[in-house]
Structure 1
Amino acid sequence: MPFKHNAARCHRMDNMKFKVANWTEYEAGLRRRGSLTLWMTAEALSSWQAAKRTTHGGQPRYSDLAIETVLTVGLVFGLRLRQTEGLLLSVLELMGLDLAVPDHTTLSRRARTWQSPEGRLGRRILGEGPVHVLIDSTGLQVYGAGQWLEEKQGARSRRGWRKLHLALDADSGEIVAHVMTDQDTGDASQVEPLLDQIELPIGQFTADGAYDGKPTYDAVTKHSADAAVIIPPRANAVERPDTKPASSRDRHFAAIHTDGWMKWQAATGYGKRSLVETAIGRYKAINGRRLRARSFGAQQTEVAIGCTVLNRMLACARPKSVCRIGTTS
């Protein structure tokens, strides 16, 4: 839980320490993340060739699953398209499989129009009960030297960056929805597109103050009427006492002013919002802070595969941390 509102008293607070209780299982899962067999499944190899077309037009040689497999391997191991092509050629040769590998031009072209066959990331959520959804966004740099030219040479660059919006399941830690937009798109405007990707009902929706506003509350209510919305009001928020009955936003406003920020966080479970920030840090640590693809369609494919990679890695190994309070020195 953040203590930025009690900075003057931080030296009196105990440090939170965590210990991994399932270290043996977790370590084995971490090693499995680097296994090629995890990313080249038997299903991908058996469905490598594209199905015959029944309409007019050229016959594709590789299935969407084959393109996804090759792009996934390249993303996981940090390879460019040509290096990924060479890696897959050598792996299939060692496996004794007579399968052609998509060349880098085919990968670049198919990545612009690739569509996930399953369509939704939330397929891994277990159970049928309401889920606790956490939402946040982050920026991803666009491939190129635009920022360097602007900072070092003073040149005006037209290169920008993309904004990645994520929805996380607080219980499983998996990404259940994602949207990529340009840098000028507001965070609150993407709440409804994110919620449209979630099929299960929402029990609690948690986000930071950037999402505070009527459009967010309306989008959550439209998806799940009984969902609890946990969003801290903005610093310049004003209570509306004439509203009957009082809205959840007004109740949050009154609780913060009456009991204080820290007590409100503990009572509402707002501290779980840090899990989505951890997922964002995990995405950038594994997939990188910069998008490799250059076209917008290929960048959307890269982000979709990157989110799937994180979910698959989380399924391989997830630590069970036990919190221990230690004394400060």
Structure 2
Amino acid sequence: MHLKRVLWATAILGLVICSFIAYQIYTAIFSPNTQFNNEEAFVYIASDATMEEVKASLEPLVQDLSTFEAVADRKGYSSNIKGGKYVIKKGMNNNDIINSLRSRNVPVRVSFNNQESVAALAGRISEQIEADSLSLAQAFDDSQFLTEAGFDGDTKLAMYLPNTYEFFWNTSAEGFRDRMHREYTKFWTEDRLAKAQKQNLTPAQVISLAAIVQKETVKSDERPRVAGVYLNRIRKGILLQADPTVIFAIKKETGNYDTIIKRVLYRDLEIDSPYNTYKNAGVPPGPITMPDISSIKAVLNPEKHDYLFFVADVSNFGYHIFAETLAQHNRNKVQYIRWLNQQNVRR
């Protein structure tokens, strides 16, 4: 009789212990384990992250790191960490969190525009994805890639069309570059290629001319008219004489792309550079900036007119006054020169 009681007591104790362990396991896996007030939070996991680094990223978001790590070990996540951007929703349990980190990499929106060099572009992109600016710049400058893709040191910036794109945060530098090449190829439809050919321009030349248009006017509705001016000059064999190309030539020669030049002087026009359109005919060898799509479309769909000149309109800032003859242009230019002098703009 005494033995039966011992056996029953042992069995009950074992059941209690098992129930307690089961409860602990269930709690560790399925109880909510977040500690933020928003509906969701995001965590960025590096491609080469260790479990300690994952825990450090999650520390502000979860209540109990020890139970998270225990469940991560049990589910095999600790030895199979994947880089990316992941969403953690309020009230998630450890099982949900690990499932999210394992297979729910969410994209980020990457935007860029109007960069004047691939180095500047690399810096801009490195702020938005995992790849650093050095690896991005190296990928952009890779000579084998450029040759195979049909670009060179002057035209390489033309491949990157300003827009907003979706990428996974852990996209590599090469992955970003290759995607941009696909976007560039996709942009040049048969219709756009035909329009470029109609202007006797290659796609790269279209973008180089669009970059000048971009720098000349901030008004997108005026860009087709400005593009028409430059195309008229090209057809007539007249030098483009675009001040932004001279400014770019100065920046390129000095290596300082942050230089601010508000007024181009006569001595600047003598700079010996293939980008100086006061000395070299036709379109520059590459873009002086990254033009917006609106500027590219303006070159492909220019306004038809007989204008050959334009100058800033100081009575309507942002816009320009256009002229068909040099005499008209010189008269129009008086108001601009007067305004520059009144503002004491010397450089």
Whether TM-score is above 0.5 comes out as no
What TM-score range do you get, normalising by the shorter chain?
Answer: under 0.3
Q: TM-score, normalised by structure 2?
A: 0.23
Instruction: Specify which structure has the bigger relative contact order, considering alpha-carbon pairs within 8 angstroms and separated by 6 or more residues.
Output: 1
Q: TM-score, normalised by structure 1?
A: 0.24
Q: Could you say which structure has the larger radius of gyration?
A: 2
